[in-house]
Structure 1
């Protein structure tokens, strides 16, 4: 099971030196990948009365694709979006950006995608919030073709490409597409279309029920469920034994990857986050 970290988007701030120090130290500690969340804009609660989203206009978010171009020059870590809100972005541009990151990392990139929840953000980016599920399915098809064909012609319900293609193509053809989501519809889509997924719950009965839905959908689509990756998430705690136990439970549940999340646990500074990850690395026997 590959162990990585969640980049603390909302707490690391805009200091580029902190971004550099974080990426390099994570690699030194023996972690294998960095996961990054995505939001392009945040809603202003003063304008959107009754706003109850987990993030707002004051929440710091580095743009994942640009961030990964920077980190690719500093580390040899696998870089993972979890998730890019795909339907609010132009598909061909996402394909181009992802191909570039894949080249810069020598094929160590996973593109995690999902639908998102913030209609304010969709409006700001000029996209329709109401049909995002249908559009994402078409986007996935087009992305894979753009990554594997020198020239293609595609006409769907939402996209048209006529005799065009990317150059250079990515190292991975196609780049692995992992899905987020937490609903029966999302699990069906994962089983039918994804290369892997990010469960939003802890190991236990709820996870087993979700896995069963994913597996059924994969089988019905003629796919092998055992080939789907699964990445769990562990909320950091100072209790090293609890961290080790959580990692073991994920491994027993069939996870291929797991990431340690230090966001929203009360850590105040970059050093706090890095010290927490050093403790986690020791608990998980990563330190060389």
Structure 2
């Protein structure tokens, strides 16, 4: 099992020195990867009465592709999006940006994608919120073609490409696509098309049911379910032993990756995040990275 961290957007704020200090500390502690969320825009609660989502216009979220281009020069961590909202973005541009990040990281990149929930973002980015699911499925296949073919021509329901391609190509051909998933249709999509998934569940009957849907869809598509990875989030609660216990439970449940989330009440600075991750690394018996770059 590979153990990583969740990037604390709010704690680093607009301080690029804090971004560097955090990422290099994480690598030095022995964590394997860094996972970052994506939201281009936040909704203004004054303009959208009754807004109940956790993100709004004042929530700090760095743009993942640009962030990862920066981090690629600072660390050797694997970098993971969780998740890029694919249907609100241009497919060709996502393919190009992802290929560039993969190249700069030396192939240490996973592209986590999702269909999205924020209609406010879709409107501002000029994309139709209502048909996002159908466009999402078409985009997945098109991304892989961009990463593996020199020149492509495509005539789809939503995408049109005539004899075009990206250069330079990524190192991983194709880049692994991991899916956010929280419903039966999404689980089936994971089984048919995904290299891995981020379930919004805990070990137990609901996870077993979701995995059964994934596995059946994989078999029906002629794929081996054992090749599909699973990454979950472990929440820091102040107890290193509790983190270690959660990791053990997920290892027994078949997770291939976990990421420790230290964004909790009372943890507001980069130093506090690093302190929590240091305690967790000790309980998890992570091996400090040799040759990690100093902050």
Q: CA deviation at 1:9?
A: 1.7
In 1, Cα distance between equivalents of 2:176 and 2:265 = 30
Q: CA deviation at 1:12?
A: 2.3
Q: TM-score, normalised by structure 1?
A: 0.98
Q: CA deviation at 1:181?
A: 1.9
CA contact (8 A) 1:72 1:105 kept: yes
In 1, Cα distance between equivalents of 2:137 and 2:204 = 29
Q: Deviations over 1:10-38 (max 9, x none)?
A: 33211111101011100000000000000
Matched, 1:134 2:134: yes
CA contact (8 A) 1:22 1:270 kept: yes
Q: CA deviation at 1:208?
A: 1.0
Q: CA deviation at 1:194?
A: 0.5
Matched, 1:71 2:71: yes
Q: CA deviation at 1:84?
A: 0.2
Q: CA deviation at 1:206?
A: 1.3
Q: CA deviation at 1:189?
A: 0.8
Q: How does 1:99-114 map to 2 (within 5 A)?
A: 99-114=99-114
Match of 1:180, SS? Answer: strand
Which residue number in structure 1 is paired with residue 262 of structure 2?
Answer: 262
Which residue number in structure 2 is paired with residue 49 of structure 1?
Answer: 49
Query: How many residue pairs are counted as aligned between the two chains?
Result: 288
Q: CA deviation at 1:264?
A: 3.0
In 2, Cα distance between equivalents of 1:54 and 1:13 = 17
Which residue number in structure 1 is paired with residue 87 of structure 2?
Answer: 87
Which residue number in structure 2 is paired with residue 147 of structure 1?
Answer: 147
Which residue number in structure 2 is paired with residue 247 of structure 1?
Answer: 247
In 1, Cα distance between equivalents of 2:11 and 2:58 = 11
In 1, Cα distance between equivalents of 2:143 and 2:184 = 24
Matched, 1:206 2:206: yes
CA contact (8 A) 1:236 1:265 kept: no
Displaced runs of 4 or more, over 3 A: none
Q: Deviations over 1:173-232 (max 9, x none)?
A: 000000002001110111111000001122111111111111111111111101000001
Which residue number in structure 1 is paired with residue 160 of structure 2?
Answer: 160
Which residue number in structure 2 is paired with residue 276 of structure 1?
Answer: 276
Which residue number in structure 2 is paired with residue 60 of structure 1?
Answer: 60
Which residue number in structure 1 is paired with residue 293 of structure 2?
Answer: none
Match of 1:198, SS? Answer: strand
Which residue number in structure 1 is paired with residue 194 of structure 2?
Answer: 194
Which residue number in structure 2 is paired with residue 28 of structure 1?
Answer: 28
Match of 2:4, SS? Answer: strand
CA contact (8 A) 2:236 2:264 kept: no
CA contact (8 A) 2:38 2:85 kept: yes
CA contact (8 A) 2:85 2:115 kept: yes
Which residue number in structure 1 is paired with residue 291 of structure 2?
Answer: none
Q: TM-score, normalised by structure 2?
A: 0.96
Match of 1:237, SS? Answer: coil
Higher relative contact order (CA 8 A, sep 6+): 2
In 2, Cα distance between equivalents of 1:227 and 1:265 = 37
Match of 2:127, SS? Answer: coil
